[in-house]
Amino acid sequence: MAELKKTVPKRISPTDASIEPATQEMIARSQELGIETVFDRSVTMKPCAIGLQGICCKNCAMGPCRLPLPKGGIEGEDTRKGLCGATANTICARNFARMVAAGSAAHSDHGRGVAETFLSMAKGEATDYSIKDPDKLIQIAPFFGVETTVEVDGEVQDRDLKEIALEVGNAAVAEWGKPDGFLAYLKRAPKPLQEKWEKEGVMPRAIDREIVETMHRTAMGVDQDYVNLTKQSTRTSLADGWGGAMIGTDLQDVMFGSPSPLQAEANLGIMKKDHVNLIVHGHEPLLSEMIVAAAQSPEMIDLAKEKGAKGIQLGGICCTANEILQRHGVPPAGNFLQQELAIITGACDAMVVDVQCIFQNLANVAKCFHTKIITTHPIAKMEQDNVIHIEFDEHYAMEDAKRIVRMAVENFSNRGTDVVIPKHKTVQIAGFGVESIKYHLGGTFRGDYYTLNDNIINGRIRGIAGVVGCNNARTQHNNEHITLIKELIKNDVIVLTTGCSAIAAGTHGLLTPGTASVYCGPGLAEVCETVGIPPVLHLGSCVDNSRILLAATEVVKAGGLGDDICDLPAAGSAPEWMSEKAIAIGQYFVSSGVYTVFGYHMPLDGAPEFKNYLYNEMEKVYGGKWDCEADPIKHAQKMIAHIDKKRKELGIDKARDRVLMDMADRQALEV
Ligand code: XCC
Ligand code: SF4
């Protein structure tokens, strides 16, 4: 225990901070050791009241201009203006657009890294990578205009996979900067949705271009019409959801394998006292895939034994965790708010980070222990002097990964005596995707979405919810996720989850088939028990929200539930959101026709007109709209009300009444 301990004046009560016992234990432990965490800072630092309203503009040096809405609202004309005359609507819509751009940039730059590595692999340069799922490559190639067959002497033959990969790689990389046309993957959306986008003129062109244009349009003195600005927010977000993120997911699946359901553990209790504990944290699986392989190599395991450990325990935090969970069953040690706590166990020999959602405070916490913090990405370094930077280069991927694993192993013997690992861990089934839903919920004879649709039409499944997104230290850790999900499945709504929400669901034991009989309504329980799936399906990381878009599209295609995503009895949610990435995701869900409810708070209250545009007017254009509700039960009820409204519009509301009649009712009817 080093000299850097801090005495913290004000402490949060661990049970107020989180509903999760391992987290509570580790928060208490941090306080006992005098180490400050995000939880403590959430009580000592209040959020800025003006920023909360979304109407602080610092886009030029005549500001910052702040236009708070007076407590009782404004009667008559709203005369609030920045120095340049910008209205509250303009400022708020610009701030919102910039969040969308930043979030889209994060997902899509990750996607670009994947596409570039894919291309290097196809060229034979990044030799540690290969094609693990050729079927997916064949499936996506046509969207990029790449032929998968060739005619030789009048005979149709399969083309060479390497050739296909090279062309797909080139076409994919071009999506970020092509000079004309629209994004290739827009064609995957239901036709009516494509037509809406076209009519509105919001079809994204190149991914980078939309992000750049958002920065231009929101600069001082450019776009000053909140409706026009929000169109650009839509265009940019679609370039993420149906562009950068979707390409990222697909090419990761091609290179690392498409996930299929597997069993794993979850929570801080996966760390082991007698093992080297290596935690990978961040988002891009390019490096973590290699670390998984390196940590499993006999060379590294032998080295660990030589150093007195029984083996190497890998664990993940945030979306890197989801990436290696869904493909390899590597257990997540925690979600976003648990990152510091993994170090506070005293048993974390190294934490390797790449990009996004990484607390700078990790380095401060690590100073109190032996833990090595290793940054790996050229665009994400930390200023503290105890941080080691090992730059990852995909051309030497395995070599770099081994260097990192070796560093963790060699650090094992430096552990202090102050090791406290909470015992809590759960078992989960993760690794669902568009294909596995097809397989599991498919009919006996053909894997397809008909059975899912049938069960929605006959009312056993009331609807579909996508519950995604972060933790936020301004809300009680995991409480909103878990309360919301339980309320949804209790009401027969099947839940698709990703990101830190999925880790929360796994940590609280909701990702097992057994959950059905305990928490589900009778209809959903029956379906889950029949096919042997959990009522909450883990679909991966945050870029994998693209899987939810594609699953929704499959449901539309299977028929009987309308012609477009906005017709489905479905809703989206990010109950504990904090990242700009969540705003990008919300905007592409809404612009794809999904009613999307965020928890905690939205920075829109200072501009009621713009807020109304997002919460009501957008629906008239895209069929989806934004909403916000902090209380998780009310939040769930809003989603369910929307689902019921859609059931009614589809004329399938009566079917549900029949299913929900109990035995006695039915017998009475039969008599
Ligand atoms: Fe980050 Fe993706 Fe949010 Fe979790 S959920 S806190 S973005 S890790 Ni995406
Ligand atoms: Fe103020 Fe206008 Fe400058 Fe924003 S752009 S800081 S509202 S003067």
DSSP line for 351-387: EEE-SSS--THHHHHHTTSSPEEEE-BTTB---STTE
Q: Identify the pLDDT of residue 447.
A: 53
Closest residue (by CA) to atom 4 of ligand 2? 57
Ligand nearest to the backbone CA of 218:
2
Quick: pLDDT tens for 369-412. 999 999 999 999 999 999 999 999 999 999 999 999 999 999 99
Q: For residue 63, how far is the Cα from the chain centroid?
A: 34
List the beta bridge partners of residue 537: 496
Query: Angle between the 285-295 and 88-122 helix axes, to the nearest 10 degrees?
Result: 50
Residue 419 contacts residue 346 (beta carbons within 8 Å): yes
86 Cα nearest atom in ligand 2: 7
d(CA 582, CA 319): 13
Structure tokens given for 250: 């697909």
Question: Is the per-residue pLDDT at 130 higher than 50?
Answer: yes
Length reported for the chain: 671
Which of 324, 355, 325, 331 has the alpha carbon at shortest distance from 277? 331
d(CA 348, CA 406): 14
Distance 175 CA to ligand 2 centre (A): 34
Distance 66 CA to ligand 2 centre (A): 9
> pLDDT category, 162, cuts 50, 70, 90?
very high
Question: Is the per-residue pLDDT at 663 higher than 80?
Answer: no
Q: What one-character DSSP code corresponds to residue 153?
A: T
> pLDDT category, 658, cuts 50, 70, 90?
confident
The DSSP bridge pattern shows strands 149-152 and 372-375 to be: unpaired
- At 9, the amino acid letter reads P
Structure tokens given for 98: 């910039």
Closest residue (by CA) to atom 6 of ligand 1? 470
d(CA 415, CA 418): 8
List the beta bridge partners of residue 477: 18
Distance 501 CA to ligand 1 centre (A): 8
Question: Is the per-residue pLDDT at 647 higher than 60?
Answer: yes
Distance 607 CA to ligand 2 centre (A): 16
- At 590, the amino acid letter reads V
d(CA 563, CA 631): 32
Distance 234 CA to ligand 2 centre (A): 24
Distance 446 CA to ligand 1 centre (A): 35
Residue 415 contacts residue 347 (beta carbons within 8 Å): yes
Residue 483 contacts residue 455 (beta carbons within 8 Å): no
Distance 387 CA to ligand 2 centre (A): 38
The residues lining ligand 2, judged by C-beta closer than 6 Å to any ligand atom, are 57-60, 62-65, 82-84, 86, 91, 220
| Span 219-235, average pLDDT | 98
Q: Identify the pLDDT of residue 495.
A: 98
542 Cα nearest atom in ligand 1: 9
- Rg of the Cα atoms in the chain: 25
Mean pLDDT across the chain:
95
List the beta bridge partners of residue 570: 464
Q: Is 543 touching ligand 1 by the criterion CB < 6 Å? A: no
| Span 454-466, average pLDDT | 96
First-residue to last-residue Cα distance in the chain? 76
The sheet with strand 536-538 has its strands ordered as 536-538, 493-497, 463-467, 570-574, 595-598, 626-628
Ligand nearest to the backbone CA of 60:
2
| Span 526-546, average pLDDT | 96
φ, ψ at 562 (rounded to 5°): 95, -175
d(CA 626, CA 99): 15
Quick: pLDDT tens for 501-527. 999 999 999 999 999 999 999 999 999
Ligand nearest to the backbone CA of 586:
1
User: CB-based burial of residue 32 (10 Å sphere; 0-12 exposed, 13-18 middle, 19+ buried)?
Assistant: exposed
d(CA 465, CA 398): 39
Quick: pLDDT tens for 255-288. 999 999 999 999 999 999 999 999 999 999 999 9
Question: Is the per-residue pLDDT at 77 higher than 50?
Answer: yes
Ligand nearest to the backbone CA of 87:
2
Q: Identify the pLDDT of residue 451.
A: 87
Ligand nearest to the backbone CA of 356:
1
Distance 70 CA to ligand 2 centre (A): 20
φ, ψ at 380 (rounded to 5°): -140, 90
58 Cα nearest atom in ligand 2: 6
Helix or strand (DSSP H, E) at 332 = strand 332-334
